Chains A and B, each alone.
Chain A
Amino acid sequence: MNNLNSNLNTNLFKKLKRFLLSKSKYNFLNFICFVISISLTFNFLTWIFKSNWKVVTSNLNLYAFGSFPINEQWRPLFWFFILLSITLITIYGPKWNWLRKNLLFGWIGTVPLGIYLLNGGFGLDTVMTRNWGGLTLTILITSCSILFSLPIGILLALCRRSSIFLIQKLSSFYIDVMRAVPLIAVLFFGQLLIPLFLPVGIEIDRVWRAIIAFTLFVSAYIAEDIRGGLQSIPKNQIEAAKSLGLNKFQINIFILIPQALRVALPAITNQLIGLFQNTSLMSILGLMELLGVSRSILANPEFIGQYIEVYIWLASVYWLFCTTMALVSKKLEQKMTINKGF
C-alpha cells in the first residue's frame, strides 16, 4: 500500500514500470487483478462499439414518452425542460437569497404542472393515462409519490410520538404493517384491491392507484427516518421553546420539524432514490413506464434477443437520474450544514 501511495503523483508509465518490476508478493496479486480488469474493460468496450444500438436509437421517442400522441409530445418534453432547468439552478445556480427561499415552491410546482401538461384540459387536448408512458411516467410517479409521502411521513412521525394513546398506537401499527409487507404486495393491493373497496361509480385510474400504493409504502419508511431526526433533537430545545410560551403545534412547526428534516435528509434521499428505482416494479403490473416500454420494445420481432443492449441502456438512464437526485440532495445538505453552521 505504501508503495502505491507514494507513487500517486508520478505519471502512469513510471507507476506501471515500478509496479511490474518490484518484487513484492503482493504486487504479483496486484498484477493479476490489473490484467483481469483491463481485459474485462477492453472486452466490454469492444462489445459496446461492435453491437448494434439501433434498438435504442430508433426508439428514443418510445423510451421517453411511451405511446403519447406524437403531436402532443412537446408537452412532456417541455416538462422535462422545466425539471432540468430547476435541477441545474438548484445545483449550480446563483446564491441569491430570494431565489433559494422560493426554490422549494418551484419544486412543488413542477408536479401539478406535469400533471396538467400530461393530462391536458384547460386549453390542451386531454390525453388518457393509458397513453402515458416511458420515462415521463416513471418521473411522474416518482415526483407525485415524493410530494405526497413527505407530508404524510412527517405527520406519521409526529403521531408516533404523540402523547394521545390511540393516535400513537394507530400510527405505530400502520408503520409496522407497512414495513412488514413487501412493496410488490402493496402494489398488487393498490392495483387489484383498491377498486373493490371503492363505492360503485367511483373509479381511480391505474396510474393514480400506483401513486397511492407507493405513497402508502414510502411514507411509512420516511416516518421512521424523521422519527430518528426528531429523537436527535436535545430536550432543552423543547424546554426553551416552552419557556417562550410557544404551544405544542408551534414547537413542532418552528423548532422540531425543521431540525429533524435536516438530520433525516440523507436517509430520506436514500428512500427517494429507492422509490425511483422501485417504480420499475410497475412494469410487472402492466404500466408502460420506462421498464415496461423497454419490455414491449424487446417483444418486437425486429429487435428480438437484444436484451443486453436494452438493459445496459436502461441501467445508464436509471444511473443518470439517481445520481442527479443524489447531487441535488448533497447540495441541499451543504446549504443546510455550512450556511447554518449546524
Chain B
Amino acid sequence: MKPILIAKNLTKSYAKGIFALNNVSFELDQGKVLVVMGPSGSGKSTLIRTINGLETFDKGELNILGIKIGSDNDERKIQKIRRRVGMVFQQFNLFPHLTILENITLAPIQVQKRQQKEAEEYGMYLLSQMGIESHSKKYPSQLSGGEQQRVAIARSLALKPELLLFDEPTSALDPERINEVLDEMRRLADQGMTMIVVTHEIKFAKEVSDQVLFIDSGKIIEISSPDVFFSNASHERSRKFLNQIN
C-alpha cells in the first residue's frame, strides 16, 4: 500500500542545541491510525502542527498526499495540503460568532466553492451522524465541551479530508465527556479514515491505533505496534513514561 504521508529527517530548532524536532522520519499508510505519545514539551504537538503547515521546519522534507514541501515552506503548497488535511484542536477553536451550522459550512462554501444548500445538507448529515443535529442553530458557547469538540470534528470532516489530525482532542474535556468524543473517533477509524492522534488515552490507543509513535525531546524513541508498545516497549524511556501515566 502506498504511504499517504512520508516525513524525512524533519528538523526544527528554536535555539542552538534545543530541538523541537530532531531528525524525525516516519511513514503512514492509507487507512491507518497513528497515535503519537510523549511527555509534555516533547515535540508531539509541533510534529502534528508541521503536517498542515501551522509550524515551519528548518531541514528535511514532507510528502503528504503526493505534495512535497521542503524547508522553504511554500505557502501555496501548504494551502493545497490544508484543503485535504483536517485538523481538530485541543481547545476546539470554534468560531464564537457563527452558529454551529455556519461553522461547518464556512470552509466548504468559501474554500471549495460549493453551493450553500449542498454544503448545509452535508453539514446537517455530519451533525446527525454525531447525534447533535438539534444544536445546528445554536452558538458554540451554548454547547458543552464534548459537543463543541464533536462540532469541531464535523467541521473538519465537511471538507472531506483524506487525513485527519487530532491534537490532544480530549485534554480540555470533563472526564465524563471524553468518551463521547473518543467514540466518534473510533467510528471514523472503523470507516477507514487515516488519522494521526496526539493523545494520552491509553485505552483508545490500545484499541484503535495501528502504530504508536513515542517521541521525547524532539526525537523519535520508537515506533511500534500498540501490542508491543504497551506490553513490551523496547526502550527504557518509553517504559518509564508508561509507568508514570498508568
Chain B CB count within 10 A is highest, among A237, A245, A254, for: A245
B171 beta carbon closer than 8 Å to chain A: no
Secondary structure dominating the interface of A: helix
Contact at A236–B139, with CB atoms within 8 Å?
no
Q: Which one of B82, B94, B139 contacts A243 once the chains associate, using CB atoms below 8 Å? A: B82
Residue positions of B touching A, CB distance < 8 A = 52-54, 79, 82-83, 85-87, 89, 91, 93-97, 106-107, 110-111, 138-142, 155-156, 159
In the complex, the answer to whether A340 meets B155 with C-beta atoms within 8 Å is no
A254 and B83 CA atoms in complex are apart in Å by 17
Cβ-neighbour of B54 out of A242, A247, A340 (below 8 A): A242
Chain A: minimal CB distance from B171 (Å): 14
- Residue A121 interfacial (CB < 8 Å): no
B14 to chain A, nearest CB (A): 18
> B142 touching A341 by the CB < 8 A rule?
yes
**How far, in angstroms, from A339 to B244 measured CA to CA in the complex?**
46
Q: Are B111 and A244 in contact, with the CB atoms below 8 A?
A: yes
- Contacts A243-B86, A244-B111, A254-B110; A340 near B91 (Cβ below 8 A): no
A239 touches B54 (CB 8 A): yes
Measured between beta carbons, the chain A residues less than 8 angstroms from B141 are 341-342
Which A residues are within 8 Å of any B CB, using their own CB?
236-237, 239-247, 250, 254-255, 258-259, 262, 339-342
Whether B159 contacts A244 by the Cβ 8 Å rule is yes
Apart from A242-B54, A244-B159, A255-B95, list 8 A-B contacts with CB within 8 A: A236-B93, A239-B93, A243-B89, A244-B155, A340-B96, A340-B97, A340-B139, A342-B139
For A339, what are the chain B residues with a Cβ–Cβ distance below 8 Å?
139
Establish whether residues B89 and A237, one from each chain, have CB atoms under 8 Å apart when the complex forms: no
Residues of B within 8 A of A246 (CB): 106-107, 110-111
Give every chain A residue within 8 A of B52 (Cβ-Cβ): 243
| A255 CA / B107 CA spacing, docked (Å) | 11
User: Is the Cβ of A341 less than 8 Å from the Cβ of B87?
Assistant: no
Complex: A250 Cα to B155 Cα, angstroms: 17
* In contact, A244 and B97 (Cβ under 8 angstroms): no
Are B89 and A341 in contact, with the CB atoms below 8 A?
A: no
Q: Which residues of A contact B79 (CB under 8 A)?
A: 245, 247
Q: Report the nearest B residue to A243, measured CB to CB.
A: B87
A255 to chain B: which residues have CB within 8 Å?
Answer: 95
How many whole Å from A55's CB to the nearest CB in chain B?
50
Q: Is the CB of A262 within 8 A of B95?
A: no
Report whether B96 and A244 are in contact in the complex, using a CB–CB cutoff of 8 Å: no
List residues of chain B with CB within 8 A of the CB of A241. Answer: 95
Shortest Cβ distance from B10 into chain A, in angstroms?
19
Tell me how far the C-beta of A184 lies from the nearest C-beta in chain B, rounded to whole angstroms.
39
Q: How far is the CA of A243 from the CA of B91 in the complex (A)?
A: 14
Q: Which residues of B contact A239 (CB under 8 A)?
A: 54, 89, 93
Shortest distance from the beta carbon of A3 to any chain B beta carbon, whole Å: 43
Q: Who on chain B is nearest to A259 by CB?
A: B97
CA distance A240 to B89 in the complex (A): 8
The answer on a CB contact under 8 Å between B159 and A259 is no
Q: Are B142 and A245 within 8 A (Cβ)?
A: no
A260 to chain B, nearest CB (A): 10
Indicate if the CB atoms of A262 and B89 lie closer than 8 Å. Answer: no
> Given the complex, which residues of B lie within 8 Å of A340, measured CB to CB?
96-97, 139
Q: How far is the CB of B159 from chain A (nearest CB, A)?
A: 7
Other-chain contact of A240, B83, B95, B110 (Cβ < 8 Å): B95
In the A-B complex, the 10 residue pairs with the smallest Cβ-Cβ separation, listed nearest first, are A240-B93, A244-B107, A341-B141, A243-B87, A245-B82, A245-B83, A245-B111, A341-B139, A236-B93, A258-B97
